[in-house]
Structure 1
Amino acid sequence: MKKSEESGYFTPPGGLPPQGALMTQRAVFTESYAVIPRGCFSDIVTSLLPGWRRTRLWVVARPLSGFAETFSQYLMEVQPGGGSDAPDAEAGAQHVLFVTAGEGTLTIGGQGYDLEAGSYAYIPAGMRWTLLAEGPRPLCFHWYRKLWEPAPGIDRPGPFVTNERAIPPVPMPDTQGRWATTRFVDPSDLRHDMHVNIVTFAPGGSIPFEETHVMEHGIYVLQGKAAYKLNRDWVEVEAGDFLWLRAFCPQACYAAGPDPFRYLLYKDVNRQARLRGLWALSPS
């Protein structure tokens, strides 16, 4: 793994470890969480997708019965000139893209947007979109997919594209700014049933209690390192690692090292708990 000199975001370079490398690392999959260390993002675990040209990806999360069930998350690498005119055949899926390296053009409903490191795009379910990688380097981004869940009196949100640099982080109360969140969506906007935020801890900052809640998480570490509490265990994490948490998995952390500890966070929000299965929207 390496960090883009321009952006500060870590992006998988692929390749394979040398034959002399130790195979023992920090990867673990438990009943309540998974840790996929940055060393696991090798060429032999990439996938291809129908409808995508000159593209490979790492699938780091997908719905699993009894574990985390609401979303998928891909780490995408699109070579210059590659992309897709039909990215996803799942009509009910909404999308979030967060760019970590490279340049591209995203078109949503006929409107074009320039993408660069730090770009964030929300694409509603049912809206046509295309993506083209441009520039001299691969376009690398996180792609989140979730079925949008209708609710009475709630309209679908509209598309938008912004950049992390345009959104000031909001400090958490009583933390003296050591813990802050960059929110791309207003938390009070009930049209959105998922949030993808960036969480930042200054060195020495912490989550000073064990968060235990219904929201599932996908956590990709963009920068820095930390000690992270997951269920009963403390694990060390660093830039390029991915953490996957099922609902109600206790979590806390301490930021360590000289750099800020920053991660991209997915969570499902703003909907009733389904009593007949996750996507049972009417009585059977």
Structure 2
Amino acid sequence: MTYHVPRGGLPPQTALTTDRARFTEAYAVVPARTQSDITASYLPGWTGMRMWVLARPLSGFAETFSQYVVEVAPGGGSDDPEADAGAEAVLFVVDGALELTVAEERHTLEPGGYAYLPPAVAWTLHNRSEATATFHWVRKAYQRVPGLDAPEPFVTREQDVAPIEMPGTDGAWSTTRFVDTADLRHDMHVNIVNFAPGGAIPFPETHVMEHGLYVLEGKAVYLLNTDWVEVEAGDFMWLRAFCPQACYAGGPGPFRYLLYKDVNRHVGLSL
């Protein structure tokens, strides 16, 4: 398994400005080249870090989540990383090694490492190694339901979770699911979607879930609303509810992306 890792920097002065960046009423495409030095942000309470904000709640667009790519230098980290006690999170490491402490239990997260962190749980994150580490951080305001406890935190690895083949695809399209879809305590899923060369979503999916899709590996042609868009490793696709989507993975290698979606809750009726 390989994972794209942004390295910052800037395009050379000789580069063409023509790119695949798009922002429409139904979707956005944030190309890998956008994750440059001049678009990096920093957070209070952290040392030795910078991040790229890929998604944030926008009224009238996608409203349920934020997504960052975070780079942590050797010795960097935070003892108080989350400022919002109502936020749940998924961390997914793509480079280096990070020490995660959750409720006083210590874990080492390396590439493929995945952690779910419920709201109000105490956690810290540090880079104790001598190399830079990079991870995805997906955040959502947890929607509590009477009679359902919030999920417990857990840590796993992509390498330890068997992908589930989509019916009738002979493994050309599969999903690595880190949460049981029948567990209604969870109101978001962050999975990895995998396509072998030639694999496809053969129909336009149109549904209420919002999506964030970060391409971890490979390339494909993706249908977004009415447009076919070429995407590759490091690109981010951001879809509002009901935006039609489909894809064709042309190869030559696997096409894989980290996928966020909101699930398992009533639709709010207030505007």
Range of TM-score over shorter length: over 0.9
Letter of the structure 2 residue corresponding to residue 185 of structure 1: V
Question: Equivalent pairs: percent with the same residue?
Answer: 64
Asked if 2 retains the 8 angstrom alpha-carbon contact of 1:224 and 1:256, the reply is: no
Task: Please give the residue correspondences for 1:261-280 in structure 2 after superposition, counting only pairs within 5 Å.
Answer: 261-277=255-271
The structural deviation recorded for 1:164 is 0.2
In structure 1, how many angstroms separate the alpha carbons of the residues matched to 2:268 and 2:143?
11
Q: Partner of 1:259 in structure 2?
A: 253
Q: Partner of 1:132 in structure 2?
A: 126
Q: Partner of 2:233 in structure 1?
A: 239
Q: Partner of 1:76 in structure 2?
A: 70
The structural deviation recorded for 1:218 is 0.2
Of 31, 42, 58, 1:37 maps to 31
Aligned: 1:87 with 2:45:
no
Q: Partner of 1:53 in structure 2?
A: 47
Letter of the structure 1 residue corresponding to residue 268 of structure 2: R
Of 202, 220, 243, 2:214 maps to 220
In structure 2, how many angstroms separate the alpha carbons of the residues matched to 1:265 and 1:256?
20
In structure 2, how many angstroms separate the alpha carbons of the residues matched to 1:23 and 1:117?
32
Asked if 1 retains the 8 angstrom alpha-carbon contact of 2:195 and 2:249, the reply is: yes
The structural deviation recorded for 1:176 is 1.1
TM-score, normalised relative to structure 2 = 0.99
In structure 1, how many angstroms separate the alpha carbons of the residues matched to 2:35 and 2:67?
14
In structure 2, how many angstroms separate the alpha carbons of the residues matched to 1:132 and 1:207?
38
Q: Partner of 1:157 in structure 2?
A: 151
Task: Please give the residue correspondences for 1:88-237 in structure 2 after superposition, counting only pairs within 5 Å.
Answer: 88-237=82-231
In structure 1, how many angstroms separate the alpha carbons of the residues matched to 2:117 and 2:215?
23
The structural deviation recorded for 1:276 is 1.8
Of 2, 15, 21, 1:8 maps to 2
Asked if 1 retains the 8 angstrom alpha-carbon contact of 2:207 and 2:242, the reply is: yes
Letter of the structure 1 residue corresponding to residue 148 of structure 2: I
In structure 2, how many angstroms separate the alpha carbons of the residues matched to 1:137 and 1:241?
24
The structural deviation recorded for 1:11 is 0.8
SS in 2 for 1:157: coil
Provide, for residues 203-240 of structure 1, a one-character-per-residue CA deviation record: whole Å limited to 9, x for no partner: 00000000000000000000110000000100000011
- Structure 2: which 5+ residue stretches go unaligned? none
SS in 2 for 1:96: strand
Asked if 1 retains the 8 angstrom alpha-carbon contact of 2:71 and 2:134, the reply is: yes
Letter of the structure 1 residue corresponding to residue 189 of structure 2: H
Asked if 2 retains the 8 angstrom alpha-carbon contact of 1:96 and 1:120, the reply is: yes
- Structure 1: which 5+ residue stretches go unaligned? 1-6, 278-284
The structural deviation recorded for 1:152 is 2.3
The structural deviation recorded for 1:134 is 2.3
Asked if 1 retains the 8 angstrom alpha-carbon contact of 2:57 and 2:66, the reply is: yes
In structure 2, how many angstroms separate the alpha carbons of the residues matched to 1:220 and 1:158?
25
In structure 1, how many angstroms separate the alpha carbons of the residues matched to 2:136 and 2:109?
13
Runs of 4+ in 1 over 4 A off after TM superposition: none
The structural deviation recorded for 1:135 is 1.8
In structure 1, how many angstroms separate the alpha carbons of the residues matched to 2:224 and 2:15?
27
Letter of the structure 1 residue corresponding to residue 208 of structure 2: V
In structure 2, how many angstroms separate the alpha carbons of the residues matched to 1:137 and 1:10?
16
Provide, for residues 109-153 of structure 1, a one-character-per-residue CA deviation record: whole Å limited to 9, x for no partner: 111111100000001100110001122211100001101101121
Letter of the structure 2 residue corresponding to residue 262 of structure 1: R
Letter of the structure 2 residue corresponding to residue 219 of structure 1: L
Asked if 2 retains the 8 angstrom alpha-carbon contact of 1:63 and 1:71, the reply is: yes
Q: Partner of 2:19 in structure 1?
A: 25
In structure 2, how many angstroms separate the alpha carbons of the residues matched to 1:275 and 1:18?
49
